[in-house]
Structure formats: structure tokens, C-alpha cells
Amino acid sequence: MDETARRQELILEALHTARSMELRAIQQYMVQHYTLDDLDYGSLAGAVRTIAIEEMRHAEALAERIKELGGEPESRLAGPVVHGQGVDEVFVFNAELEEDTLAHYNEWLVLCHECRDKVSAALFERLILDEQSHHNRFEDTDRHLRTLGTSFLARMAGGGAD
Ligand SMILES: [Fe+2]
Ligand SMILES: [Fe+2]
């Protein structure tokens, strides 16, 4: 295998793994959206749902790039989807998930630069900005839950999922 083909294979592997992480996040956030909605925390459910939709866009963008490089998008999930989390568990869990995603995407951004693949690098740069924003939003909510507790939850109760 020549150097160019080897580089392309490494990038494709990163894109596939990134997509499996996005697919897992989508499933996880959708489960949480329904759980939070059932608990009547409409505003919190809506916030998680919004992020799930952003992850869908990420999965789509990664699939497009995989196809451009001659690959076939897969449907595997990077990890298990956890059910039955309490409101106190969801946001700290998600902040950690986003942190893990950020660590990987930053590594793959470096790989893209090393392989001189500017298009994939630009994609990872864009995703990193979004994941950083997700991480901050999850962490802020978790902090509010811990510091304000029931008064914060009372404000989040009711309302639609939007
Ligand atoms: Fe994402
Ligand atoms: Fe994210």
C-alpha cells in the first residue's frame, strides 16, 4: 500500500469511529429526552433534544465525508446506551461523553493535518466547536442542578420539549 492510500485508510478509520460516537450520542440523548419529558422536566428535555439533533447533523456530515473518500457509512454505535438515568445523572454523564469526544476529535484533527487532508480537518474543526458548546451547556446545567437543586428543577418543570 502506498503512503497516500495508507493515510486515507487512517482518516477513514477516524471518520467511521467518529460517526459511531455520534450515533451513540444521538441514541443516548434521545433516550434522555424521553425520560426527562416523562419526569415533566420539559425545558431540560428540550435542551437535550436540541443537542441530539445537532449530533444527527454531525453524523450526516461524517457520512458525506466517508462517501467522498470512497467508504460506506456504517451504523455501529461506539458504546452502550444507558437507560433509566435520574435527572441528577444525565448532565454529568453527558458532559463526560462530550469531553471524551473532544479528546478524540482533537487527536483526529492532528491526524488530518499530518495526512494533509484539509477537508476532513475542517470538518473536525467544526465538530470540535459544537462539541465544546455541548460540553459547556451540559456542564452549566449540571452545576445549576448541584447549586440550586430543587428551585432550579421547579423552573425546568412542565413546558413542551421545545
Ligand atoms: Fe457531535
Ligand atoms: Fe456533542
Distance 128 CA to ligand 2 centre (A): 9
Helix (H, G, I), strand (E, B) or coil at 161: coil
Fold of the domain built from segment(s) 3-156: Ferritin (1.20.1260)
Q: How remote is the CA of residue 43 from the centroid of ligand 1, in Å? A: 21
What's the 7 CA to ligand 2 centre distance in angstroms?
Answer: 26
Tell me: the pLDDT tens digits for 110-150? 999 999 999 999 999 999 999 999 999 999 999 999 888 87
This prediction's pTM: 0.92
pLDDT tens digits for 33-81?
A: 999 999 989 899 999 999 999 999 999 999 999 999 999 999 999 999 9
Helix or strand run (H / E) with residue 63: helix 42-68
Using a 10 angstrom Cβ sphere, with 0-12 exposed, 13-18 middle and 19 or more buried, the burial of residue 69 is middle
Residue with cell 479528546: 103
Calculate how far, in angstroms, residue 68's C-alpha sits from the geometric centre of ligand 2.
23
> Nearest CA to 35 among 81, 79, 77, 86?
86
The ligand minimizing its distance to the Cα of 135 is 2
Query: What cell numbers appear for 93 in the block?
Result: 454523564
